[in-house]
Amino acid sequence: MKNVFAVILGFIFITACTIAGSDKNSDTVGIGEVSISADESLQPVVSALEAAFEMNNSAAKLNLIYRPEQESINLMLQDSARVAVVTRELTAEEKKIFEHEKLTYRSLKVGVDAVALITNASNNDTLITFNTLRNLFLGKDKSKNVVVDNSNSSNLSSVMEKLGLTDLTQLKIAAVKGNKDVIDYVKTHNNTIGIIGVNWISDGEDPASMGFLKSIKVMSVSDKDNPKPDEYYLPFEYNLYLKNYPLSRNIYMITKEARQGLGTGFINFTAHEKGQLVIQKTGILPATQPLRLYKVQN
């Protein structure tokens, strides 16, 4: 009887170990469950990709974690997420983590996004230059207030890089809790410029995106000192394709998944035709598929 009991215990132990091991590595490119961390400013496009991927892979489940960009990357580095969807490549210090652990990582550009500047619907002046924006950031121009989604956000770091600003403590700006909060703040405050990811307002078929657009104005931006009227550009797909809009940025998917798991499946889906069509539908520029432009003549 004791031998039978020992055999049963051994079977339970082996089964438990097998299940534990399979939980970690049982997913494939189209089956299983995995966590994906993403920059909060990219939430609309990433959510659209998630829905499309799960529709095409009914046995797959993506658990999306939206955080400021640095936190999203940290979750991937700490193995709390399999893939990070962000707007920059890894830094030299972050790459050292892989070198120390003798691991490789993969990074793929999947789209071209932009930082959009928005203002209250009552404001008639929707043109802005880099010089004006820089002076607003530094508090030299007090005619308008600037509000961002988070002091650690990719929206803020992208604009600071473009403007040549490096010291966060010098900035005279306000921070809220997210891109939607920026839109809500701008809706109710005159003489305010908000900074958001353009994918929050660029999907012409999404009711939420169109609702946001009805309540604010999108600003045209120029990086020239004394621009002509036709040298200001809106942050939408056509100007991203022609590289006219000066606050554009890339979208990357980064993973250290060393096998053909569900994280790799999500990246592959995004990089190929169906995923790139989802990206284009959200109003931003696909990176790996050709874009057709048509010139309309009156």
Q: pLDDT by residue (tens digit) across 123-165?
A: 999 999 999 999 999 999 999 999 999 988 999 999 999 999 9
Say if residue 24's pLDDT is above 80: no
Average pLDDT over residues 6-18: 39
| H-helix or E-strand spanning residue 111 | strand 106-120
Q: How far apart are CA 193 and CA 133, in angstroms?
A: 9
Residue 284 CB coordination number (10 Å): 26
Residue 292 has a pLDDT of: 57
Those residues with Cβ within 8 angstroms of residue 112's Cβ, 6 or more apart along the chain or in another chain? 240, 248, 249, 250, 251, 284, 285, 287
Q: pLDDT by residue (tens digit) across 203-253?
A: 888 888 888 888 899 999 999 999 999 999 999 999 999 999 999 999 999
Task: Give residue 281's pLDDT band: very low, low, confident or very high (50, 70, 90).
Answer: very high
Q: pLDDT by residue (tens digit) across 251-274?
A: 999 998 888 899 999 999 999 999
- Percent of the chain past pLDDT 90, that is, above it, reads 78
Task: Give residue 103's pLDDT band: very low, low, confident or very high (50, 70, 90).
Answer: confident
Are 1 and 31 in contact, with CB atoms under 8 Å apart?
no
Q: pLDDT by residue (tens digit) across 27-71?
A: 999 999 999 999 999 999 999 999 999 999 999 999 999 999 999
Say if residue 98's pLDDT is above 70: yes
Residues in a beta bridge with 196: 116
Residue 6 has a pLDDT of: 44
Mean pLDDT of the chain: 89
Q: What share of the chain is helix, strand, coil (3-state, %, to 5)?
A: 45, 20, 35
Question: What does the block give as tokens for 291?
Answer: 């874009």
Handedness of CA 277, 280, 282, 285 (dihedral sign): positive
Q: How far apart are CA 216 and CA 232, in angstroms?
A: 18
| H-helix or E-strand spanning residue 84 | strand 83-86
Those residues with Cβ within 8 angstroms of residue 29's Cβ, 6 or more apart along the chain or in another chain? 260, 261, 262, 264, 265, 268
69: nearest Cα among 82, 92, 85, 49? 85
Average pLDDT over residues 82-104: 91
